[in-house]
Structure 1
């Protein structure tokens, strides 16, 4: 399995012949609105997509959306909608998001509305995991969406946490399934008022202690309401003795996780290789 990190939550997952684009935000730098009203009202995204993006997108076979309504352009923006609509790429989503996507001309293919049971996916299976997009009262106003656990033959299992804080539901799911690789939001996003709406440094470290496999951090240094930097997260992980299990890819970087039969060490950890395609 390859995880090609493009920017923010946008990645391309490679499973054999399949290329799955996750939560695409394809707009140019500074072309989207600010996400905070006070202080420096910076437009988004804060950085451009890597130069490798157009070539990487040409290989995409499917798209996977965790959530996309109530203004969540950082998981599906107008540029991405246009790109998906022109190609009629199959868009895997929740039943909640399917009507919204279809009214915009996208080829929405909803999964069953059942968090308990997996569905068929690319020759293996996928299941959804509930997200809680924020602590306190602000979380009650957010569009929560889902995370996904993907389990395919001869590939490491992958948990895409989606936009969530660390909740008892997420903790229990990880303890039960112990995915080989987990992709979690780490930017500590918050608006002008209220608490964090995704994991920040401390929750990412707590998640990494809980998980047995590799953890990959995203949602970093691309949006104006995400204050956590890669350097700060790496320093905290190093101080906590977790740096070898917490991967913090640069935009454009590709991480490779070999399958269970070929990539497991005596301790059960997956070997990891990195490549920059920016």
Structure 2
């Protein structure tokens, strides 16, 4: 298994001969609107795609979407939609997102209606895990989406958490299934009002206590409402004794697992 961090939540998975693009945000730096108004009004993304992105995208065979509605351009933007449509890439998603994506001309391959149970996926199995993308007033405005557990013969099990807080659902799932590799959001995103809408440093460290596997942190240093930095997270992991299991890849970096 190889996992290449592209930018923010966008990654490319190399599994069993397939190359799976996850949550493509492909716009150039500054092409998307700010996500905070009262703080510094920075346009997004904050950084360009890495040089390695072009070659990584050329080999993509499938796409997997965790959530995409209610303005979540940081997981699927117009550039990502256009790229997928022009190439006819099969887009795997939940039944809820399928009509939304089909209306945009994508080659949609929705999971079965009972997608919380394991179902066939590229020679292995996939199932979804509910996300909690914020709570309270802000949570009611969000598209909560799902995470995915992918199990392939000869590969470690892989949990893509999606955009979520460390909810009781996520806690219970990780303790029960103990995925070999987990990819989690770690940017501590928040708007001008309300609390965090994804994990920040404290919840990442708590996640590390629950998980026995390798954990990869992303959703860092690319979107204006995510204050956590890679250095901050790596320092916290080292101080907590998790430096060998918590990986914080840079944009363009590929991890072999």
TM-score bracket for the superposition, by shorter chain length: over 0.9
Partner Cα distance (1:195, 1:4) in 2: 30
Partner residue in 2 for 1:96? 96
Partner Cα distance (2:136, 2:113) in 1: 26
TM superposition shift of 1:115: 4.8
CA contact (8 A) 1:5 1:251 kept: yes
TM superposition shift of 1:138: 1.1
1:66 aligned counterpart, secondary structure: coil
CA contact (8 A) 1:24 1:76 kept: yes
CA contact (8 A) 2:213 2:245 kept: yes
Cα deviation, 1:47-101, whole Å, max 9, x if unaligned, reads: 0001111111010000000000100000000001000000110000011110010
TM superposition shift of 1:113: 2.9
TM superposition shift of 1:222: 0.2
CA contact (8 A) 2:130 2:169 kept: yes
Partner residue in 2 for 1:266? none
Partner residue in 2 for 1:274? none
Partner residue in 1 for 2:142? 142
Partner residue in 2 for 1:27? 27
CA contact (8 A) 2:21 2:60 kept: yes
Partner residue in 2 for 1:198? 198
CA contact (8 A) 1:114 1:128 kept: no
Partner residue in 2 for 1:183? 183
Structure 2's unaligned 5+ residue stretches are none
TM superposition shift of 1:136: 2.7
1:70 aligns with 2:70: yes
TM-score, length of structure 1 as denominator length: 0.91
CA contact (8 A) 1:115 1:130 kept: no
Map 1:19-168 onto structure 2 (within 5 A). 19-168=19-168
CA contact (8 A) 2:16 2:152 kept: no
Partner Cα distance (2:137, 2:204) in 1: 21
Partner Cα distance (2:15, 2:119) in 1: 17
Partner Cα distance (2:213, 2:15) in 1: 18
1:184 aligned counterpart, secondary structure: strand
TM superposition shift of 1:137: 2.3
Partner residue in 2 for 1:212? 212
TM superposition shift of 1:5: 0.4
CA contact (8 A) 2:14 2:20 kept: yes
Aligned residues: 257
Partner Cα distance (1:155, 1:181) in 2: 10
1:228 aligns with 2:228: yes
1:170 aligns with 2:166: no
Partner Cα distance (2:95, 2:245) in 1: 34
Partner residue in 1 for 2:3? 3
CA contact (8 A) 1:166 1:207 kept: yes
* Misfit runs of 4+, over 2 Å: 113-116
TM-score, length of structure 2 as denominator length: 0.99
Aligned-residue CA RMSD (Å): 0.8
